[in-house]
Amino acid sequence: MRIHLPLLLLIPGMLFLSCTKEEWTRPVKVAFSFSMDGMESTSGKKSQTYLEFHEGKMNISQISFEGYRETGPNVFFDSDFESPVLADLATVSSEPPVVFDIPQGIYDHINITLELDAEKQPFSLELRGVYHSPNPHKGDIPVIFTLDLPEKIEVNPRPSAETGEIAFVKDRHNEIRIHLHTGILFQLIYSAMLESADVSGTEENPCIVISGVENENIYLLIMNRLEKATEGILMH
């Protein structure tokens, strides 16, 4: 990982800035974690959830970081993973764990870009869940959403709920959580669409597969909301 710090211009009378330059560039450990929620919103009735997700995996080939500060040099870097990171969204874990050394301080704004790829997995993003059909003859049908193409997701982490700031501080746990809201992702997918979806598998073991080649109309609606459904959260 290469961190680029733009040169800081010093002029007479800015002794305070030069004295604190070391503090601005001193790195702290910042962990990246990845998560998801499991329920899609219902068609108006909270007691009738028709779509639930219990598994989610994301294959990350690169993370790009842009950090903008008024009190110090801006920070830019791209990860240099030896192999793609496989993030398990359901267990909030990844292999390998993702931790960066990032200069401490208060940031005005942060841009993070996730590059998803299917280099070592058959997918860039995969979600598995269950569709609860209102038709008693159908019952519960497994659902698999698969993205098997490269994709970039941009997120802007919001300030910490505790401090109201975007800040990385030494001697404190610093974490950026990338969270996928399945309710937002599948917000436009109504029960009627899943009722009429093509079903794969057998009569005994049916499955609704949503991908670029199966149920493509549903797939495109979901893909158009992927970035909107992904949030960055600063955690301590």
In the structure encoding, which two tokens stand for residue 208, read together? Answer: 């609704």
Q: In what order do the strands lie in the sheet containing 27-36?
A: 98-103, 27-36, 175-180, 230-235
Residue 203 has a pLDDT of 84
**Count of residues in the chain:** 236
Residue 21 has a pLDDT of 60
Closest by CA to 56, choosing from 129, 146, 127, is 127
Residue 6 has a pLDDT of 46
- CB atoms < 10 A from the CB of 4, how many? 10
Q: What is the dihedral of CA 207, 210, 215, 217, to 10 degrees?
A: 150
- Domain limits, the chain: 26-41+49-87+129-148+180-198+220-231
Closest by CA to 170, choosing from 63, 8, 22, 35, is 22
Closest by CA to 102, choosing from 10, 230, 234, is 234
Task: Give the residue ranges of the chain where pLDDT is below 50.
Answer: 5-19, 41-47
Residue 126 has a pLDDT of 98
Residue 47 has a pLDDT of 40
Supply the DSSP symbol for 194.
H
Residue 13 has a pLDDT of 33
